[in-house]
Amino acid sequence: MPNTSFSEIIQTRSGEPLHTCYFCQKCTAGCPVAYAMDYKPAQVVRLILLGRRDTLLRSNAPWLCVGCDTCGARCPNDIYLAPVMDVLKEMALEAGLAPAEKKVYALHQSFLDSIKLWGRTHELSMLMEYKLRAVDLFTDLDLGLRLMLKGKIALLPERVKDLERVRALYRRVGR
Amino acid sequence: MRYSYYPGCTLSSTGVEYGQSVAAVCEALGIELVELEDWSCCGSSSAHALDHELALSLPVRNIALAQPAGLDTLMPCPACYQRTLRADRRLREDETWRREMEALLGFAYDGQGRPRHLLDVLGHDLPAEAISSRVRRPLKGLKPVSYYGCMLVRPPKLTGWDDPEHPVLMDRLLSTLGAEPVFWSYGVDCCGGSLSLDRSDVVKALVGRLGAAAEEAGANCIVTVCGMCHINLDTRQQGTQIPVFYLTELIGLALDLPGWEKWLRKHFVDPLPLLQSLSLV
């Protein structure tokens, strides 16, 4: 089996041409969450090209990326980092590493479980699952309560009739 | 004018007033919406965050449901819109993948009908007079900043929006209603999106900045076309209490459609004192 480098794997899986990066750092300058990241977007690109796999799979940057695409819209070489960050998250999970932002992972996982269960998201059961997964029972309880009082969180889920087709899409990717 | 309609999950939960105002405004303007029977979730941010393949395939089921009618599908939620656009693009460009999806979901993709965002339809398909001639209550004194957020305009190569850094379509519609849109530089900045609960500190920081910027620009309200942006802006402002409207709520108010009071009562930042101070209600 050919020894494919870390950066090649990421470029293939994400489809983003990282090798064309000028390191102009516009991505970092425009990223709304860069301030909270341990490695900033342009640094992530550089670390990928340097093959720093272990550093990146433990970084919180991929988990904090919200996919706003500001980086890509402003990149002189049309490199979008959200798909790159998504590949890094997938690779961290594939490697069996604990997600660097456990609550972020807990929310995404609860969201996907909700779709698999009902075909649509059901906030109430999804948030309960999230609270248990994140071991965070009390944050924002007041907000949740006020949302319910305003009729903005439904008690009962809306269940898709042809759920089998939705689940077939999950089975296809081994979920 | 007739469209297939994909409301998405948010419009029956945290964005319930968005769903109600979209239905009322479209009906009043003669835009017929045919809701897709048995639609499912697009996967939103969480699917692409954890599984690229799942993210691209989940919207395909809805594309398949829209296929027989052959109409464009109107979507009020920018996340649903953008995720569905990505799936539609791959169906067009990746034949092997398309065949796999067709076999799995039991349909034949013909490329007729595209995902369209509500703002695009209101701003481009509808003649400007269709709205202006119906205005009963000009929104005089209302000084909104238009907030587009991320998913609607980016990535520009996918959405083809007028200007990804400074879109103007919403300002144009607001002027039609008699409002006086205010310039600001934050219309396509991010609200923190899906980090709302798991890293609320980030959302508070970003929304706090948006609230401060709107105030500094001299605006008295923020207008959005996104359920996620709305709940973040409506519940996470720091030190400001600026009312946040859905565009369709303001159209409904200007056209004096029944129901606007019920929609506005769903908000956390009460917009009624502002509307009363401007003698609009």
d(CA A102, CA A63): 9
Question: What is the separation, in whole angstroms, between the first and last Cα of chain A?
Answer: 27
- How far does the CA of residue A65 sit from the closest CA of chain B (Å)? 9
pLDDT of residue A3: 61
Mean of the per-residue pLDDT values of chain A: 96
C-alpha B233: how far from chain center: 14
Joined tokens for residue B71 = 């109409």
Closest residue on chain A to B165 (Cα): A73
Contact A154, A118 (CB under 8 A): no
Q: Are strands B73-75 and B221-224 parallel, antiparallel or unpaired?
A: unpaired
CATH of A6-94, one of 1.10.238.10, 3.40.190.10, 3.40.50.10490, 1.10.1060.10: 1.10.1060.10
Joined tokens for residue A10 = 């990421």
Cα angle for residues A158, B11, B50 (degrees, 5° grid) = 75
For A102-116, what is each residue's pLDDT tens digit?
Answer: 999 999 999 999 999
- Per-residue pLDDT averaged across B216-232, rounded? 98
d(CA B260, CA B271): 11
- Per-residue pLDDT averaged across B38-47, rounded? 97
- Per-residue pLDDT averaged across B101-112, rounded? 96
ipTM confidence: 0.95
Interface list for B 159-188 with A (CB within 8 A): 164-165, 188
For A37-47, what is each residue's pLDDT tens digit?
Answer: 999 999 999 99
Percent of chain B with pLDDT over 70: 100
pLDDT of residue B160: 87
pLDDT of residue B161: 84
Dihedral angle over CA of A15, A17, A23, A25, nearest 10? -40
Interface list for A 57-96 with B (CB within 8 A): 64, 66-70, 72-73, 78, 80, 82-83, 86-87, 89-90, 93
CB nearest B150 (choices: A69, A173, A175): A69
- How far does the CA of residue B155 sit from the closest CA of chain A (Å)? 6
CA atoms within 13 A on the CB side of B172: 14
- Per-residue pLDDT averaged across A28-34, rounded? 98
Contact B230, B15 (CB under 8 A): yes
Question: What is the separation, in whole angstroms, between the first and last Cα of chain B?
Answer: 31
d(CA B256, CA B262): 13
Mean of the per-residue pLDDT values of chain B: 97
Distances (CA, A) of B118 to B9, B75, B246: 16, 6, 12
Nearest CA among B234, B147, B193, B148 for reference residue B45? B193
d(CA B44, CA A156): 21
State chain B's maximal CA–CA distance in angstroms.
Answer: 60
Map out the domains of chain A as residue ranges.
Answer: 6-94, 102-172
Interface list for B 77-136 with A (CB within 8 A): 104-106
Closest residue on chain A to B159 (Cα): A73
Distances (CA, A) of B77 to A73, B150, B280: 20, 12, 28
Q: Could you give the domains of chain B?
A: 2-118 (no CATH), 137-277 (3.40.50.11810)
